[in-house]
Structure 1
Amino acid sequence: MITLYIIIAIFFIIVLSLFTVKQQTAVIIERFGKYHSIRNSGLQFKVPLVDRIAGRLNLRIQQLDVIIETKTKDNVFVKMKVSVQFKVVQERVYEAFYKLEYPHDQITSYVFDVVRAEVPKLKLDDVFERKDDIAIAVKRELNDAMVTYGYDIINTLITDIDPDIQVKHAMNRINAADREKTAAEYEGEAERIRIVAKAKAEAESKRLQGQGIADQRREIARGLVESVDVLNSVGINSQEASALIVVTQHYDTLQSIGAENNSNLILLPNSPQAGSDMLNNMVASFTASNQVGEAMKKAGDKSNSNKGYQKPKNNPPQTDNFTSGFED
């Protein structure tokens, strides 16, 4: 029976003597209240009633978020969120456990001190642009202070900069106005380009139109010159030829107007001497046409006589009687 009690007592002693340590964790063992050793991950042994676990330290990287309200150089109050990533140096667990009781408070105090020393030197816009410089300054100051206590500062980040709400609205209005100004400048430039392009197109159109009109008039003039030369070759002078051409164009115009189904307008001369001028032109044109016909007949007679064929004579043209009747 006594043996059974001894076995049970030994079992309880063994159970109380063994303990486990998790990965990335350090356990501080004290013996009679004095530091004895540091145990790392795995199954560990301690003397019952003599040794005790004084504490456990997390060796993984931790993050502490610190929110600070400070003032910039241009008297704008901002709230900044600084995220500090740190860990306990495994070789300096003793200093981390015994030298510093509240590491989070210590880190927070240093962050406040550095940020409130750096931000008042900068204007609000510079705070946004140089936030990385502020983070580097915080990290440097923390490393110099916390390495003594066994803590390593991995990184510091400025994760948020929040100005006063009125300042934020003012900045948004400034940005909106600046963007509207830029948009107006681009719209004005686009409108200018459209106007210049339209003016160039109109100028080119006018140039081509003028060139077309010039070519048209040149061809008309060339045709008139050729027509006058043909009429002059058969003995019709320039005045008579011009009259014939004018009358021909006049009747061609009247014919084209009459050919239009929807046309009900005819343009006539309205000056007092228009009738006399038109009559004289008609007389001259008829005379010229008769002369052309006579010349063509003579040319035909010559060709027939060369072939031995005697063409009967035609009656003399009635041009003189026609013109004399008008003259009377």
Structure 2
Amino acid sequence: MLRSVVNRNSVKLLKATVEHAQLCVRNRSSLPLNTVILFVPQQEAWVIERFGKYKQILQPGLNVILPVVDSIKYVQSLKEIAIDVPHQAAITSDNVTLTIDAVLYLRVFDPYKASYGVEDPEYAITQLAQTTMRSEIGKIALDTVFRERESLNIAIVDSINHASNSWGIKCMRYEIRDMSLPPKVQEAMQMQVEAERKKRAFILESEGKREADINVAEGKKKARILNSEAFMTEQVNQAKGEAEAQIVKAQARATSIDLVAGALQKENGMNAVSMNVAEQYVDAFSNLAKESNTVILPANSGDVSGMVTQALTMYKTLSKTTNRELDVKEIKEVQSVTGDEKL
């Protein structure tokens, strides 16, 4: 078993060494021919050595060198390039393993440092990006990784630029393309999301029910207020109507009394009143005779003329009393005006 583990590690190391060697050979094989007249393309920098020592950097355009003495050692592209960062595992602060796939954008700003400061700039910057990413991931929790992805990218770029400044390379952007979680963690997160959705749905449903109950209660309250106001208005109107009816009845009664009083002052007025009282007396006894109830009658109930005379006598007595009270009232009013108490 130990032998198999050693073999796997040896295979990985050999594969990485072969890829690095192929990259170095590719860079060296892409060097232009060493001629007298050289045309350097735009956004490229050619590093020239004389007798194995750095001499100069050729700028874009026409350049002249000595073929035997000078040689083109490095060709650096000043364009921004994108490098795929291999998949790598990182552990968050809450001990969750993530597999991250990212892409790195960089640019050479100092051809001299990029040529002599590091053996293979692309390989070095890729390894630096991987280690920096693992370090930054280890500082935050899993939820923060998804929520602050942009902040994580910026932190990784700042850390890479701090170390790659001596290489003449600047990291422009670092973008995380994909993050893979273990299956169990994905299931747990899915359950958490479903629980959160159910919670929100329950809260929304309860809030909707509460709003509905409040609306119903408000409607009942307003309906009761309107009913009470309508009942109050009805009672007020009814009272006003009854009061006006009483006033009208009283006015009609007063008018009828005035008419009767005027009629009594006329000739034969008393005879007419006597006849009217006698008719009412006879009608009253006729109505009593229609019922089978027991009624207590006065001893002289058959004497109609006597009853009429008695009624007229009572009327005259009341009239005299009323006239006397009116005279006394007028005398008091005159005394209050003139101030003469002996009048």
**Could you tell me the TM-score, scaled by structure 1's length?**
0.59
SS in 2 for 1:56: strand
Alignment partner of 2:203 out of 185, 195, 210 = 185
Q: Is the CA contact 1:26–1:59 (under 8 Å) kept in the aligned structure 2?
A: yes
* Cα distance in 2 for residues equivalent to 1:154 and 1:175: 35
Which residue number in structure 2 is paired with residue 60 of structure 1? 79
- Cα deviation, 1:12-41, whole Å, max 9, x if unaligned, reads xxx953221111101123456655432110
Contact 2:136 2:156 in 1 (8 A): no
How far apart are 1:298 and its partner, in Å?
9.7
Distance in 1 between residues matched to 2:100 and 2:182, nearest whole Å: 11
Any idea what the Cα deviations from partners look like across 1:199-255, whole Å, max 9, x if unmatched?
Answer: 2321332233234335434554665677678779999xxxxxxxxxxxxxxxxxxxx
1:107 maps to 125
Shift of 1:58: 0.2
Residue 145 of structure 1 is matched in structure 2 by: 163
- Do residues 207 (structure 1) and 225 (structure 2) align? yes
Cα distance in 1 for partners of 2:260, 2:46 equals 140
Structure 2 counterpart of 1:147, one-letter code: N
2:45 matched residue in structure 1:
26
Match of 1:254 in 2: none
Correspondence for 1:175? 193
SS of equivalent to 1:101: coil
Q: Is contact 1:27–1:39 with CA below 8 Å preserved after alignment?
A: yes
How many residue pairs end up in the alignment? 251
Alignment-mate amino acid for residue 148 of structure 1:
S
Equivalent-residue separation in structure 1 for 2:192 and 2:288 (angstroms): 97
- Contact persistence 1:132–1:158 (CA under 8 A): no
For 2:45, the aligned partner's letter is A
Change (3 A) 1:193 1:83: same
User: Could you list the runs of 5+ residues in structure 1 that have no partner in the other structure?
Assistant: 1-14, 236-294
Equivalent residue, structure 2, for 1:84: 104
Aligned residue runs from structure 1 range 38-77, under 5 A: 38-48=57-67, 51-66=70-85, 67-77=87-97
State the secondary structure of the residue aligned to 1:60. Answer: coil
Matched with 2:330 is none
Match of 1:128 among 121, 134, 146: 146
State the one-letter code of the partner of 1:142.
Answer: I
Distance 1:231 1:144, change over 3 A: closer
SS in 1 for 2:138: helix
Separation in structure 1 between the aligned mates of residue 288 and residue 61 of structure 2, nearest angstrom:
146
**Residues 1:129 and 1:215: Cα distance change in structure 2 (over 3 Å):** closer
Q: Which residue of 1 aligns with 2:284?
A: 320
- Show structure 2 runs of 5+ residues with no match: 1-33, 293-343
Give the conservation status (yes or no) of the 8 Å contact 1:62–1:86: yes
Question: Cα distance 1:70–1:302, how it changes in 2: closer, same or farther (>3 A)?
Answer: same
Check 1:305–1:31 CA distance in 2 against 1; reply closer, same or farther (3 A cut).
same
- Normalised by the length of structure 2, the TM-score is 0.57
Q: Describe the SS at the equivalent of 2:95.
A: coil
Distance 1:133 1:215 in 2: 70
The equivalent residue for 1:266 is none
Q: Which whole-Å CA distance do the structure 2 matches of 1:94 and 1:78 have between them?
A: 37
User: What SS does structure 1 have at the residue aligned with 2:113?
Assistant: helix
Return the index of the structure with the highest Cα Rg: 2
Q: RMSD in angstroms over aligned alpha carbons?
A: 4.2
Look up the SS of the partner of 1:47 in the other structure: coil
The match for 1:163 among 181, 206, 210 is 181
With over 3 angstroms needed to count, the CA separation of the structure-2 counterparts of 1:206 and 1:107, relative to structure 1, is: same
In 1, Cα distance between equivalents of 2:130 and 2:247: 109
Deviations along 1:271-308, whole A, 9 cap, x unmatched?
xxxxxxxxxxxxxxxxxxxxxxxx9699489569979x
C-alpha deviation, 1:164, in angstroms? 3.4
Between the aligned partners of 1:118 and 1:16, the Cα distance in structure 2 is 48
Residue of structure 2 equivalent to 1:270: none
1:56-100 deviations in Å (ceiling 9; x for gaps):
21012223232432122333222234443322233xx23322443
Q: Percent identity of the aligned residues? A: 26
The separation in 2 between residues aligned to 1:297 and 1:141, in whole angstroms, is 117
